[in-house]
């Protein structure tokens, strides 16, 4: 009996230590999963010319894989809003990472462009499974006063892919081909994300409701909440703004300011660094200023900086505002996700999945309309239009959405 009395506390202590260690890995595991969602998109942008040459198609045809992936993402995000009601957030996130891993493997082995078009959209499906569930897991796992900081790290993890994955994949491709980057970088990182997610993420229990009751209850809570709906619209309008920098930014500086391609790539990496820093900073100050106030201010400033960097003629000044735009963009991303996460706490999975659909549609709208504006009116009108969308988004958040009283009280 004496031996048992000594061993039991020791066993309990060991169990507690192991549990605490796994808890500390929750945020890194979610961060790795989110990081994975950006790798295939970056690979397609980096090796667009190489992919076109491999399959003997034009650059325009090769770029369709990203368009198809984006359309698939919008459609599947709507389906995810229902799946998140019936399945655990952890399970959906794991299947999302698995979809990206299968997509990477399939693309690396694709014998022709048809197979490439079949496997690459798995990246879009995986992304809209991982990202919404990542934020939903944070909402279920972390107390309110720590959620914004966790979301800030997740925002930073996504942005860091541009200056971690791009150089790594570029270096690997120098010793092989673009397929080597898939096999030696994207696939191993995806597997690491799978292992971490499986062993460290908590399995939050779903409420025991009938299928019909669960769906009706979850959608009713979101769709009948005016603040939730208008917040989704604001998020969609905001998603249009970063398109200026991420899609048209390098072309703008090369065409208007006569920069080299290497300088343009350096600017794009700079955008990513400022975005990461902005997202990280916002996670540490949002509790002080409030979710709604931070969202409105950062979205507004991002829109204004986008307008200024495209319309001002001076290169140093334009470049300064070009870097400020993603800085406020990273802050806005953290603020918006923090704000949306608390709109309908009982249906976080549905809310964040719908946000993924709205945001992806905003990006599609920005890219599609942006291309037309650029061809017809030029860069100034393009930047002005996309920047104004940020100002309109800030207005939607300010006038039509509200921050839950319970959230403000818990923080203060």
Domains in the chain (CATH in brackets) are 25-201 (1.20.1250.20), 225-412 (1.20.1250.20)
Residue 204's pLDDT is 61
Residue 21's pLDDT is 53
Give the pLDDT band of residue 212 (cuts 50, 70, 90). Answer: low
* Residue 388: exposure state from Cβ atoms within 10 A (0-12, 13-18, ≥19): middle
pLDDT score of 12 more than 70: no
Q: Which of 26-30, 87-91, 158-162, 259-263 has the highest mean pLDDT?
A: 26-30
Other CB atoms within a 10 A radius of the CB of residue 372 amount to: 10
Residue 101's pLDDT is 96
Q: Which two tokens stand for residue 335?
A: 């603020």
Residue 214's pLDDT is 59
Q: Using CA atoms, how far apart are residues 34 and 183, in angstroms rounded to an integer? A: 19
DSSP readout, 237-264?
A: HHHHTTHHHHTTHHHHHHHHH---HHHH
Residue 63 DSSP code = T
pLDDT score of 9 more than 90: no
Interacting residues of 116 by C-beta distance below 8 A, sequence separation 6+: 51, 55, 65, 107, 110
Q: Alpha-carbon Rg of the chain, whole angstroms? A: 22
pLDDT tens sequence across 102-121: 999 999 999 999 999 999 99
pLDDT score of 71 more than 80: yes
Residue 403's pLDDT is 84
Name the more confident of 47 and 285. 285
CB 141 within 8 A of CB 202: yes
Residue 210 DSSP SS3:
coil
pLDDT score of 96 more than 90: yes
Name the more confident of 58 and 182. 182
Residue 10's pLDDT is 53
Give the percent of the chain with pLDDT over 70: 88
Report the predicted TM-score, pTM, of the whole model to 2 decimal places: 0.83
pLDDT tens sequence across 240-294: 999 888 878 877 888 888 877 678 778 888 888 999 999 999 999 999 999 999 9
In the block, tokens 């939607």 appear at 396
* Residue 323: exposure state from Cβ atoms within 10 A (0-12, 13-18, ≥19): middle
Q: Which two tokens stand for residue 39?
A: 């790798």
pLDDT score of 13 more than 50: no
In the block, tokens 């003629």 appear at 313
Q: Phi and psi for 55 in degrees, rounded to 5?
A: -100, 5
Residue 206 DSSP code = P
Residue 339's pLDDT is 94
CA 150, 394, 310 angle in degrees (round to 5)?
100
């Amino acid at each position: 009996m004496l031996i048992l009395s000594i061993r039991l506390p020791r066993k309990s202590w060991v169990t507690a230590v192991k549990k605490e260690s796994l808890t500390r890995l929750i945020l890194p595991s979610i961060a790795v999963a989110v990081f994975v969602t950006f790798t295939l998109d970056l690979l397609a942008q980096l090796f667009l010319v190489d992919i076109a040459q491999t399959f003997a198609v034009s650059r325009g045809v090769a770029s369709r894989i990203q368009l198809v992936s984006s359309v698939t993402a919008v459609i599947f995000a709507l389906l995810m809003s229902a799946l998140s009601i019936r399945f655990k957030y952890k399970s959906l996130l794991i299947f999302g990472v698995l979809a990206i891993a299968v997509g990477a493997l399939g693309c690396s082995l694709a014998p022709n462009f048809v197979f490439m078009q079949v496997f690459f959209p798995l990246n879009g499906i995986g992304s809209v499974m991982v990202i919404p569930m990542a934020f939903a897991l944070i909402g279920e796992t972390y107390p309110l006063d720590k959620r914004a900081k966790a979301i800030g790290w997740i925002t930073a993890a996504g942005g860091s892919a541009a200056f971690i994955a791009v150089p790594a994949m570029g270096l690997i491709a120098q010793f092989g081909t673009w397929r080597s980057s898939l096999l030696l970088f994207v696939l191993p990182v995806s597997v690491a994300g799978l292992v971490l997610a499986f062993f460290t993420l908590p399995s939050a229990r779903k409420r025991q409701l009938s299928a019909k009751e669960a769906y009706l209850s979850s959608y009713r809570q979101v769709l009948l909440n005016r603040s939730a709906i208008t917040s989704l619209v604001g998020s969609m309008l905001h998603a249009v703004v970063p398109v200026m920098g991420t899609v048209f930014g390098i072309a703008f500086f090369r065409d208007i300011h006569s920069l080299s391609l290497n300088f343009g790539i350096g600017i794009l990496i700079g955008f990513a660094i400022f975005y990461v820093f902005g997202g990280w900073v916002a996670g540490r100050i949002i509790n002080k200023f409030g979710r709604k106030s931070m969202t409105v201010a950062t979205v507004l400033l991002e829109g204004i900086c986008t307008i200024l960097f495209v319309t001002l003629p001076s290169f140093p000044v334009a470049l300064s505002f070009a870097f400020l735009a993603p800085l406020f963009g990273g802050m806005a991303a953290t603020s918006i996700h923090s704000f949306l996460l608390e709109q309908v706490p009982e249906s976080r999975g549905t809310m964040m999945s719908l946000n993924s659909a709205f945001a992806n549609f905003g990006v599609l709208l920005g890219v599609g309309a942006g291309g037309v504006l650029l061809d017809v009116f030029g860069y100034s009108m393009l930047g002005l239009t996309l920047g104004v969308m940020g100002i309109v988004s800030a207005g939607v958040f300010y006038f039509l959405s509200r921050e839950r009283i319970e959230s403000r009280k818990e923080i203060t």
